[in-house]
Amino acid sequence: MASLMDKAKALLVDKVAQIKKPEAELTDVDLKGVSRESANFNSQVSVTNPYDHSIPICDISYSLKCANKVIASGKIPDPGSIKENGVTMLDVGMKVPYSVLLDIAKDIGSDWDIDYHLEVGFTVDLPIIGNFTIPLEKKGAFKLPTLSDIF
């Protein structure tokens, strides 16, 4: 009897593993703008839905690291849903206070850019499977505007 249960469990695991799942990719990370209080960064996530119905997004969590320090992190609850049989573009906005940027001034001062490592967890609610998190990450550098760029 235990052998039959093991075979049934193995069959179920195999079938669930073959189910198509949504795919996501971080396509862009940019300095969106600056204000008196903070620098605003924006990331775009491209999500492909293989199903013929929309999929609700549970949340998007993010962590932006510079100079091995977390300078922005948070969670965007219930950002909507992914449209059926297509690609949905989502924005992940991050606000970084200048006081935090001063902590990483050594990195900025050497080449007037900010080297970053962005980690995003994209959680969707799939039928039968339940909550499914797609981990994403991207490394790069933000080139900061000079005074001549601002004025």
Quick one: pLDDT at residue 17?
63
Residue 56 belongs to domain spanning:
20-143
- Per the structure, the count of domains in the chain is 1
In a domain, 8, yes or no: no
Computed over every residue of the chain, the mean pLDDT equals 80
Q: Could you write out the three-class secondary structure of 56-105?
A: EEEEEEEEEEECCEEEEEEEEEEEEEECCCEEEEEEEEEEEEHHHHHHCH
86 in any annotated domain: yes
pLDDT digits (tens, 9 = 90+) for 38-73: 888 888 888 888 888 888 888 999 998 887 888 889
Sorting pLDDT into bands at 50, 70 and 90, what band is 113? confident
- The secondary structure element, H or E, covering residue 132 is strand 130-143
**Average pLDDT in the 108-120 region?**
77
53 in a domain, yes or no?
Answer: yes
Question: DSSP letter at 127?
Answer: T
Greater confidence, 28 or 64? Answer: 64
Across 130-147, average pLDDT: 79
pLDDT band for position 23 (50/70/90)?
confident
Distance CA 6, CA 115 (A): 49
pLDDT, residue 144, reads 64
pLDDT at residue 151 is higher than 80: no
Q: Is the pLDDT of residue 4 over 60?
A: yes
* CA 5 – CA 8 distance, rounded (Å): 5
Residue 10 covered by a domain = no
Q: Could you give the angle at the alpha carbon of 61 between the alpha carbons of 60 and 62, nearest 5°?
A: 120
In a domain, 3, yes or no: no
CATH number at residue 135: 2.60.40.1820
Q: Of 58, 51, 150, 37, nearest to 101 (Cα)?
A: 37
Residue 78 counted as domain residue: yes
Asked if residue 67 belongs to a domain, the reply is yes
149 part of a folded domain: no
